[in-house]
Structure 1
Amino acid sequence: MPTLLLGCDFSCAPSARKPIVLALGHETAGGVALLRLERFASLEAWCRWLADQPAWIGAFDFPFGLPRELVAHLGWPTQWQPLIAHYAGLDRALIRQTFAAFCAARPVGGKFAHRATDAPARSSPSMKWVNPPVAFMLHAGVPRLLEAGAALPGLHVPASAATRIALEGYPGLLARELIGRRSYKSDEAARQTAPRREARGELLAALEGGATRLGLRLALGDAEREMLLADARGDCLDAALCLVQAAWGAARQASAGPGYGLPAAMDPLEGWIVTA
């Protein structure tokens, strides 16, 4: 039976209106097939589902680590697991206050500390608490991956056999490669325009054609294609983009270093975005 692959579009405060979306699939010759989408209106339901699946390899759209520069400045633990335990024990108001004070003391143009992966991925700093609130996504997501028994290659291997593999994904990395900086989604109804739908269509066509440097085709049925095209928020499409990243990592699970296509020299405190 093929390994279950999944891509996750995450929310740190999911609801019925804005659920966490999982795109589920499996490897095919030359790519990955999208089987179905799952939605979760609570963090607890999402975590429970992940824990109930005996094995999977997934790419999750939230950061797995904080910048080493920030951690050292704050005097927080510089080993990943103690750092995550410390961070999980803080409330969001204190995280916001601590990170805002760090930024306030720094010059314009260099307010945030960055991870090494941010430059090649062109990703938001993982300490950012608004637009998008990735610091809170880390706070909500990573402890629950650990609770579900996941291994995070290069960062954490559980005591039990690692049959659930979590990789840090970032859909914007693949989207920019295919359609540049064109916007293809919005949470605001007034901005869910025809040009954005057209951009989603071009993005889907490129994914199905295997046009990315990853060389993987996304196989879709008609119903799934229409669902991804119609989702003006882009959550389903972002989950599918992460699914492609998971498939690329799965195909490289036996490579050097941490495996799954992650660089051998990745910082074991900061983590790395797969395919960056």
Structure 2
Amino acid sequence: MKIYGIDFTSAPSKAKTIVCAEAWLDDIVLQVERIERFTNFPTWMEFLQRSPSWIAGVDFPLGQPRKLVENLQWGKTWAEYVKFVGRMSKPEFVETLNQYRQGRANGDREHLRQTDRLAGAISPMKVYGVPVGKMFFEGAPRMLAAGFSILPCHPTDDPHIVIEIYPALMAKAIIGKQSYKSDDKHKQTREMQLGRQAIMNYLRSPNFAETYGLSLNINDQLAWECDHDPSGDTLDAVLAAIQTAWTSRQPNYGIPNNCDRLEGWICGKL
């Protein structure tokens, strides 16, 4: 089974790329074969559509909170509101969320999905700081337009399966709250690199196999890239591939039957 782990950005460029770890899952062995980097959306989408089948874990919110969707009357299904958002420009989407927040009480300006609360994730409405709202805007409509099977929001018979994952969950399980990445060059430290090394050492250890029921094969060059990418994007793509592989081996991809399909679900070992 082909596995993609995707570390996403809402504004890909030469300085900040979409990073994809391409891997192959054979029973319990996950072989990371290569790291692909994309500076724009068209080449990324062309790459995804090149292979006949895969399961991809994407590091961006595939859905928005039900409360937001219903309050703004965006639609009754995931496909309806994602298609609606896809017709907006990015400035229009950002301004819509800015206006929505105005006048609302503290604590009720950026809603959380049920899955965000369980995973400790930030609101997918956030468009400043870590702009996961902009990532939703650029990612989810493209997944829908491509016809992929998007779980659990919009399952289809398409052999390309997309799930939402959260690499920081796995990193936190390994090294706790220690910071291991930064896009700001002035904040990148030796301690962060040691954190990335600790994560990679664990992923290549017997303890990882015992805990996750998977064995990771990654060559020294790719492991070095994970260690020496201070942004953490390379490592996050590999973590995304691992979470995706683990999820693919769970009943119903580890998604509870009572989850809110309008909002989506963060998959992976919590």
1:131 to 1:25, Cα distance in 2 relative to 1, 3 A:
same
TM-score (norm 1): 0.92
- Give the equivalent residue in structure 2 for 1:137: 135
Tell me, in whole angstroms, the C-alpha distance in 2 between the residues paired with 1:41 and 1:262: 32
| 4+ long deviations beyond 4 Å | none
- 1:1-276 to 2 correspondence within 5 Å? 3-28=1-26, 30-158=28-156, 161-209=157-205, 210-211=207-208, 214-252=212-250, 255=251, 259-275=252-268, 276=270
- CA distances 1:109-140 after superposition (whole Å, capped 9, x unpaired): 33211100011111111111112111111111
Q: Secondary structure at the match of 2:195?
A: helix
- CA distances 1:53-91 after superposition (whole Å, capped 9, x unpaired): 111011000011110011111121021111111011112
Query: Please, which runs of 5 or more residues in structure 1 have no aligned partner?
Result: none
Tell me, in whole angstroms, the C-alpha distance in 1 between the residues paired with 2:203 and 2:26: 14
Q: Secondary structure at the match of 2:183?
A: coil
Task: Judge which range, 95-104 or 175-184, deviates more.
Answer: 95-104
Return the offset for 1:29: 5.1
TM-score (norm 2): 0.93
Tell me, in whole angstroms, the C-alpha distance in 1 between the residues paired with 2:54 and 2:215: 20
- CA distances 1:207-246 after superposition (whole Å, capped 9, x unpaired): 2225495343432111111111011111100101100111
Q: Percent identity?
A: 33
Q: Structure 2: which amino acid aligns with 1:164?
A: H
Structure with the higher helix share, 1 or 2: 2
Query: Is contact 1:9–1:20 with CA below 8 Å preserved after alignment?
Result: yes
Q: Considering only aligned residues, what root-mean-square deviation do their CA atoms show, in Å?
A: 1.6
